[in-house]
């Protein structure tokens, strides 16, 4: 009878973020190492001219883990500056931790919206908020042109959407505010904060999801037997 090898090292388990489960889970550590070295920092003024360079000591901590819940592999890189204060840590995950996940219902909207909406979410999760807001403006432009054609400016188009009973007056005000924010990013270098961008994105999600609801209502009406005369 073969004896069990008691010298086999015990697998260490930690709790860390799993990209697939989208929350912290218990994970087995597959690989863990660290290194310490110098890093040069270039300090510049507002014009972009070099002022001076300074050096600091940084530690790189590399961690490869396997989730015990879904068996997916996760990679975590921690960049730690000296002195070792928690606020100095920069943590990078791969696959990247999403700060806003794309809704499941997008599979039910036209593919032309899905493609650009996917790019918007990529920009959001890379924290490229100016690009994300500009992409949202483009998405709304496509939506409006499909509904009423490409004639007039945005305010005129929104007015026509209301006149054609495509959106309500209250939704028109929301849509105009959203488009103005997108124009500010595209033409005036406006960079929204996370809260503002999420509010704009929620408005667009609501607009697109209502398309699914409206289509479902039409399908129900078509299948419902009419009352006899």
Domains and CATH numbers, the chain: 13-94 (no CATH), 104-223 (1.20.120)
- Give the pLDDT confidence of 34-81 residue by residue, as tens digits: 998 887 777 766 666 667 777 778 889 999 999 999 999 999 999 888
Angle between helices 111-125 and 194-223 (to 10 degrees): 160
- Three-class SS state of 180: helix
What stretches of the chain adopt beta strand conformation (E)? Answer: 13-18, 23-44, 50-67, 73-81, 90-94
Residue with tokens 């001219």: 49
Q: What percent of the chain has pLDDT over 70?
A: 81
**CB burial string 113-151: b at 16+ within 10 A, e below:** beeebeebbbbbbeeebbbbbbbbbebbeebbeeebeee
Q: How far is CA 68 from the centre of its chain?
A: 26
Rounded distance between C-alpha atoms, residue 102 and residue 114, angstroms: 10
Q: Kindly report whether the peptide bond that precedes residue 189 is cis, defined as omega within 30 degrees of 0.
A: no
- Give the pLDDT confidence of 139-176 residue by residue, as tens digits: 888 888 888 888 777 788 888 888 888 777 877 777 77
Nearest residue to 13 via CA among 31, 24, 32, 28: 28
Residue 115, both tokens: 């493609």
Rounded distance between C-alpha atoms, residue 186 and residue 136, angstroms: 10
**pTM of the entire predicted model:** 0.63
């Amino acid at each position: 009878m073969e004896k069990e090898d008691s010298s086999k090292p015990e697998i260490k388990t930690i709790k860390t973020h799993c990209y697939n489960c989208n929350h912290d889970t218990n994970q087995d550590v597959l690989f863990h190492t660290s290194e310490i070295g110098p890093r040069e920092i270039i300090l510049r003024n507002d014009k972009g001219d070099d002022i001076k360079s300074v050096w600091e000591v940084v530690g790189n901590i590399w961690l490869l883990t396997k989730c015990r819940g879904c068996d997916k592999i996760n990679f975590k890189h921690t960049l730690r500056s000296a002195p070792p204060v928690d606020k100095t840590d920069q943590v990078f995950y791969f696959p990247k931790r999403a700060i806003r996940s794309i809704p499941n219902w997008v599979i039910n909207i036209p593919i032309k919206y899905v493609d650009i909406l996917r790019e918007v979410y990529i920009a959001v999760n890379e924290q490229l908020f100016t690009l994300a807001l500009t992409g949202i403006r483009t998405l709304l432009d496509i939506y409006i042109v499909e509904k009423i054609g490409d004639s007039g400016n945005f305010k005129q188009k929104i007015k026509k959407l209301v006149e054609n009973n495509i959106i309500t007056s209250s939704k028109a005000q929301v849509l105009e505010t959203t488009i103005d924010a997108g124009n500010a990013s595209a033409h005036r270098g406006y960079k929204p904060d996370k809260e503002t961008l999420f509010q704009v994105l929620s408005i667009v999600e609501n607009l697109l999801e209502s398309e699914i609801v409206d289509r479902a209502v039409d399908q129900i009406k078509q299948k419902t037997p009419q009352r006899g005369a």
